[in-house]
């Protein structure tokens, strides 16, 4: 069985996947905190029911789209504040002048070392 193939599983394949899912369901019921076993169990159920996988993917995509919308709104607010700060003219920075006073111009530039 290849990934995304439209052909259904053979009877023995389905029976084996179902037996593994039932075994994992027993393990998950005994240790509810085992996240890895829960994920494997859900994956096996998705193999048995491909519609379950499609529903999960749609749910994850919609949650991601919702969260990206809130990030965009937050980012727009911070950009607005930054632009307002740039409109204020603070003048030149105070302190010592860092540029060299003897600026070379024209031919003088090539003769000095």
Is the pLDDT score of 26 beyond 90? yes
- Per the prediction, the chain carries an average pLDDT of 77
**What whole-number distance in Å separates Cα of residue 81 and Cα of residue 78?**
5
Claim: this prediction has a pTM higher than 0.85: no
Q: Which residue has the higher pLDDT, 83 or 37?
A: 37
Helix (H, G, I), strand (E, B) or coil at 76: helix
Confidence of residue 1 (pLDDT cuts 50, 70, 90): very low
Are 34 and 27 in contact by the 8 Å Cβ rule? The answer is yes
Exposure on the CB side of residue 10, measured as CA atoms within 13 A: 4
Confidence of residue 30 (pLDDT cuts 50, 70, 90): very high
């Amino acid at each position: 069985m290849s990934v995304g193939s439209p052909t259904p599983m053979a009877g023995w394949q389905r029976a084996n996947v179902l037996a593994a899912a039932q075994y994992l369901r027993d393990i998950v019921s005994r240790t509810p905190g085992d996240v890895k076993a829960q994920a494997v169990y859900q994956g096996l159920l998705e193999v048995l029911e491909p519609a379950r996988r499609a529903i999960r993917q749609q749910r994850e995509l919609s949650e991601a789209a919702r969260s990206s919308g809130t990030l965009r709104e937050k980012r727009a607010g911070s950009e607005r504040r930054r632009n307002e700060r740039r409109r204020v003219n603070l003048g030149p920075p105070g302190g010592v002048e860092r540029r060299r006073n003897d600026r070379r111009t024209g031919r003088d530039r090539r003769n000095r070392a």
